[in-house]
Amino acid sequence: MPELSYREAVRDALSHAMREDDDVFIMGEDIAEMGGSMGVTAGMLDEFGPDRVRNTPISEMAIVGAGIGAAIQGMRPVVEVMYEDFTTLAMEQIVNQAAKHRSMSGGQLKVPLTIRTQGGAGWSPGAQHAQQLEGWFVHVPGLKVVFASTPTDVRGLLWSAIYDDNPVMFFEHRTLYGIKEEVPDDLEPIPIGKARVHREGEDVTVVATGRLVHEALAAAQEAEGEGVSVEVFDPRTLQPLDEDGLVASVKKTNRCVVAHEAVTRMGFGAEIAAVVQEKAFDWLDAPIERVGAKFAPLPFAPVMEDYVVPDAADVLEAIRRTVGR
């Protein structure tokens, strides 16, 4: 089994699809010679040439809009928005167009577009370069939303996103690009809508996404030393959500903590909590705990950023709170 970094795993899935399928191409800002702001597409220009690895003008709206145009003729473009903060510039295209074409054409038009983007705190880029906005998109009927946390997942899920006939928002986390994992020899597609249980446990289920999956695993390790057995559950795809897997896990552990880096209030975690109380209310032994960022714009100074975003210690505290009841 080869070991790939998260960055290499994204590149591997893209390259694989582009080798097999002329209808797959990528475009975005600075993705060619430079390999993208995070080095994800490094070397791809040499293999696939400047037409299929396309540097675009700084035009997020046109990047996504042109992706839609290419997709409605049956191509499978993968466009990159350099920071997820800048999906804001393309919201009309994503929310009103990509997400609506199918239903507004009576199901006749499909938009097999993948919009890759990355973000997150942990390196102090400030209020306009570190947000976690995936929660905005799960709320839009017509979009699928993926947020992978490991090399294996990001590889298999990106493949599935490219071959999904719906527009997919594909979130990557900036701080995960360097992490490594052994991945299957052959690229195995991972179905969109299927969670991954990273660690089985008996006492509490921690539902975590993105960077917080790793924080949750660290917290689970600590908790084990305190005699608490933690199950770490990564939905991997936020929309659609693996509700069956989620509910089964909570029915087993009877406690639930939700952890994401996005702000807690009004967030994706609230939806998880709602699903759990709706479908597993009688199994719950304690209120569901939420872990996330404080409700404030992200500050630029590293110490201040630390105050706002959650880490393993916050997850551990939430675990203790819930088992203490």
Partner 1 sequence: MAQVLPAERDLRRVIGDGEGVPDGEVEGLSEDDLLELHRRLVQLRTYDERSLVYHRQGRIGTYAIFWNHEAMQAGSVYALEREDWIFPSYRESAIGLLRGMPASTVLSWWRGHPTGWWNPADWNVASICVPIGTHVPHAAGLAWGKKLRGESACAVAYFGDGATSEGAFHEGANFAAVMRAPLILFCNNNQWAISTPLEAQTAAETLADKAVGYGIPGVRVDGADVLAVYEATREAVTRARAGDGPTFIEAVTYRAAPHATADDPSAYIDPARVEEEKERECLGRYEAYLRRLGLLSDEAAEAVRAEALERMREGIAQAEAEPAPDPALLFSHALASPPASFDQDLAELRRVLGG
Ligand X SMILES: Cc1ncc(C[n+]2csc(CCOP(=O)(O)OP(=O)(O)O)c2C)c(N)n1
Catalytic residues: 60, 129
Residue from 25, 86, 137, 171 that binds ligand X (CB under 6 A)?
86
In angstroms, what is the minimal distance from the CB of 37 to ligand X?
Answer: 7
Binding flag, residue 30, partner 1 (CB under 8 A): yes
Asked if residue 315 lies in contact with residue 216, where contact means CB atoms within 8 angstroms, the answer is yes
Nearer to ligand X, 120 or 151 (CB): 120
Binding flag, residue 49, partner 1 (CB under 8 A): no
Q: How many residues bind partner 1 (CB under 8 A)?
A: 35
Binding flag, residue 29, ligand X (CB under 6 A): yes
Asked if residue 140 lies in contact with residue 99, where contact means CB atoms within 8 angstroms, the answer is yes
Asked if residue 215 lies in contact with residue 315, where contact means CB atoms within 8 angstroms, the answer is yes
Q: Which does 299 bind (CB under 5 to 8 A by kind): partner 1, ligand X, none?
A: partner 1
User: Shortest CA distance to 324 belongs to which of 202, 228, 208?
Assistant: 228
List binders of partner 1 among 56-75 (CB under 8 A). Answer: 57-62
Distance between CA atoms of 178 and 151, rounded to whole angstroms? 9
Please work out, in degrees rounded to the nearest 5, the angle formed at the alpha carbon of residue 11 by the alpha carbons of 6 and 17.
Answer: 130
Nearer to partner 1, 125 or 235 (CB): 125
Binding flag, residue 292, partner 1 (CB under 8 A): no
Binding flag, residue 263, ligand X (CB under 6 A): no
Q: Which helix (H) or strand (E) segment is 290 a member of? A: strand 289-293
Residue from 4, 115, 207, 308 that binds partner 1 (CB under 8 A)?
308
The dihedral formed by the CA atoms of 215, 217, 223 and 227, expressed in degrees to the nearest 10: 170
Binding flag, residue 318, ligand X (CB under 6 A): no
Binding flag, residue 147, ligand X (CB under 6 A): no
3-state secondary structure 127-140: CCCCCCCHHHHCCC
Distance between CA atoms of 188 and 165, rounded to whole angstroms? 18
Q: Which does 307 bind (CB under 5 to 8 A by kind): ligand X, partner 1, none?
A: partner 1
Location of structure tokens 């909570």: 250
Site of interaction with partner 1 (CB under 8 A): 29-30, 32-35, 37, 55, 57-62, 85-86, 89, 124-126, 128-129, 265, 294-297, 299-304, 307-308
Site of interaction with ligand X (CB under 6 A): 29, 58, 60, 82, 86, 89
